[in-house]
Amino acid sequence: MDATIREVIEQGRAYLGIELGSTRIKAVLIGSDHAPIASGGHTWENQYENGLWTYSLDAVWNGLRDAYANLAADVREKYGVELRRTAAMGVSGMMHGYLPFDGEGRLLAPFRTWRNTTTGQAAAELTEKFRFNIPQRWSIAHLHQAVLNGEAHVKDIRFLTTLAGYVHWQLTGEKVMGVGEASGMFPIDSDRLDFDQAMIDQYDGLVSGLNYPWKLRDILPKVLPAGVQAGTMTEAGARLLDPSGTLEAGFPLCPPEGDAGTGMAATNAVAVRTGNVSAGTSVFAMVVLEKPLSRVYEEIDMVTTPAGKPVAMVHCNNCTNELNAWAALFQELMSAMGCEARQGPILDAMFRAALSGEKDGGGTVLYNFLSGEPVAGLTAGRPLLARTPEARLTFANFSRVQLYSALAALKLGLDILSRERVALDRLLGHGGYFKAPEAGQRMLAAAAGAPVSVMETAGEGGPWGMALLAAYSAGKAEGQSLEDYLDSRVFAGQPVTTIQPDPEDAAGFNAFMERYVRAMPAERAAVEHLQ
């Protein structure tokens, strides 16, 4: 087996996916059977500077190089060969955000990530103008807020992109973007697989009196669907990613995508009536629609699959951060007691304990809002744990409440889709929340009221999904759709674990949500008074 894999690598027939997540940059190499054969990673954290969540471009490239170097080292260790080229490669990243550049390629303002909730005025104005929900994290909301703020750099913008779009541009020289990623910048016309021209015209009219030297279309990337070639690795790009000089130029890259799109690919949730939930630092649900929603909802993003099909997206800024913070606290406690402790086993213990907790969490309520949460109407966050005197505070109950809280804001959005009678044949989970067996699935099934399936690749869905999109671009049959490629070439016969919703779990989650909604004024007060 290793000899065969070695040949695949030596002959440049493997596929590479790299994803810049919120806390980890991950690289996955897959073989011709689409199974992962090597991986590498780099841990990083966003910075809160001048009232904004950001990452520096130096951190981006240091992280990418480290993740790629770790991948290359894994290849050498496992197979005794150097990774010199691939059949195709793709880059994905956290969706949305704001990276404006001038005509010389200089960044005009620090990267503003999806986590920021500083664009409320712009988002509201554009939502009313377009009659289409424009969430605060979308690139157009960030741009328009900069316009409303009178920021001096706006007149100098010549290119506006996302993190994945930026990295792809630096590697290939191409200012392009996959349609799924593009749908988090500006509304998409799914029939034309391009930005909605009528809305672009509306926006140009909205800012026409300000005499900017650009039109919106001119500063946005070119939109491409999954399956096409989106440039080739340049010599400069290869040295950016691999300063050792081992990586060769000349191999193709597929369109850069967002973490939503890679999650859909990694869970085979790109067909109508399928959905997936990605749960890690943030949490979002994606449901591929068979018909439009009846009206605009501020809680629901309208985005697309990597192939351009309309998707209802519930995106929440907060998921596992608070869970991780408590695990770190327990780690400190154990260290203070002289016990060897690692965070991973502590998290595993919390997930196991949650299964034996009372169905409603025993009377405790927890808000995991490290940052603002638009779905809950909060522009800032204050993690908060509250309980009544008679609440039963046990480790099991506390752990269950942690898992409930990670999905609570998501449930507010899922309930809207339920009222819209959105049809859903299957829901698949992926991301760190589902690494522990059973617990994450059970909690999501209770929240969604639907069966939840998890595949063996659940914990590393993003970079693997990006590698699959790269494979599709280079290896699909003539006219083969993304849905058919994934069904027939990737997921046929793959083991899947499915958990049906338990009525008692669902009733318990609903009881927790009643407390959660009733006590929300306490969270709002904490945001207002705890500075």
Dihedral sign (CA 266, 272, 278, 284): positive
pTM of the model: 0.84
Is residue 164 within 8 A of residue 179, CB to CB? The reply is: no
**In the numeric block, which tokens belong to residue 206?**
């909205």
Q: Which residue has the tokens 């909605």?
A: 196
Radius of gyration of the chain (CA): 22
**What pLDDT is recorded for position 457?**
58
Tens digit of pLDDT for each residue in 28-46? 999 999 999 999 999 999 9
Closest CA to 185 of 276, 297, 303, 317: 303
Q: Which SS3 state, helix, strand or coil, does residue 332 take?
A: helix
Give me the percent of the chain exceeding a pLDDT of 90: 84
Question: Can you state the angle between helices 197-206 and 120-130, rounded to 10 degrees?
Answer: 120
Q: Which SS3 state, helix, strand or coil, does residue 474 take?
A: helix
Q: What is the DSSP letter of 112?
A: B
* Measured torsion, CA atoms of residues 47, 51, 56, 57, in degrees rounded to the nearest 10: 140
**What pLDDT is recorded for position 234?**
98
> pLDDT class for 278, splitting at 50, 70, 90?
confident
What residues contact 489, with CB distance under 8 A and at least 6 apart?
Answer: 34, 475
**In the numeric block, which tokens belong to residue 525?**
């007060």
427 vs 451: CA distance, rounded Å: 7
329 vs 283: CA distance, rounded Å: 23
H or E segment and range at residue 155: none
Tens digit of pLDDT for each residue in 155-184? 999 999 999 999 999 999 999 999 999 999
**What pLDDT is recorded for position 460?**
54
Q: In what order do the strands lie in the sheet with 283-288?
A: 301-304, 310-316, 283-288, 274-279, 426-430, 452-455, 496-499
H or E segment and range at residue 431: none
Alpha helices in 115-244 (DSSP H): 120-130, 139-148, 163-172, 179-182, 197-206, 216-219, 235-241
> pLDDT class for 439, splitting at 50, 70, 90?
very high
**pLDDT exceeds cutoff 80 at 244:** yes
Q: Is 105 left (phi over 0), alpha (psi -120 to 50) or beta?
A: left
**pLDDT exceeds cutoff 70 at 459:** no
Q: Which SS3 state, helix, strand or coil, does residue 371 take?
A: coil
In the chain, the N- to C-terminal Cα span, in Å, equals 58
> pLDDT class for 437, splitting at 50, 70, 90?
confident
315 vs 326: CA distance, rounded Å: 23
448 vs 245: CA distance, rounded Å: 49
What residues contact 4, with CB distance under 8 A and at least 6 apart?
Answer: none
> pLDDT class for 507, splitting at 50, 70, 90?
very high
478 vs 496: CA distance, rounded Å: 29
Q: Which domains, and CATH codes, for the chain?
A: 2-79+95-257 (3.30.420.40), 268-456+495-531 (3.30.420.40)
Tens digit of pLDDT for each residue in 341-383? 899 999 999 999 999 999 999 999 999 999 889 889 898 999 9
Q: What is the DSSP letter of 347?
A: H
47 vs 190: CA distance, rounded Å: 35
Report the pLDDT averaged over residues 456-478.
Answer: 86
Is residue 240 within 8 A of residue 61, CB to CB? The reply is: yes
Query: Cβ atoms within 10 A of the Cβ of 95, count?
Result: 30
**pLDDT exceeds cutoff 70 at 325:** yes
Distances, alpha carbon 494 to alpha carbons 34, 130, 469, 479, 498, in Å: 11, 42, 18, 24, 13
Least confident of 14-23, 144-153, 459-468: 459-468
Tens digit of pLDDT for each residue in 97-110? 999 999 999 999 99
Q: Which SS3 state, helix, strand or coil, does residue 43 take?
A: strand
Is residue 196 within 8 A of residue 202, CB to CB? The reply is: no
**pLDDT exceeds cutoff 80 at 438:** yes
**What pLDDT is recorded for position 2?**
65
> pLDDT class for 335, splitting at 50, 70, 90?
very high
Residue type, 328: A
Report the pLDDT averaged over residues 415-420.
Answer: 92
175 vs 160: CA distance, rounded Å: 9
Tens digit of pLDDT for each residue in 42-82? 999 999 999 999 999 999 999 999 999 999 999 999 999 99
Least confident of 139-143, 258-262, 433-437: 433-437
Report the pLDDT averaged over residues 134-146.
Answer: 96
403 vs 443: CA distance, rounded Å: 7
What residues contact 173, with CB distance under 8 A and at least 6 apart?
Answer: 231, 234, 237
396 vs 405: CA distance, rounded Å: 14
**What pLDDT is recorded for position 501?**
93
Question: Can you state the angle between helices 57-79 and 2-10, rounded to 10 degrees?
Answer: 130
33 vs 18: CA distance, rounded Å: 18
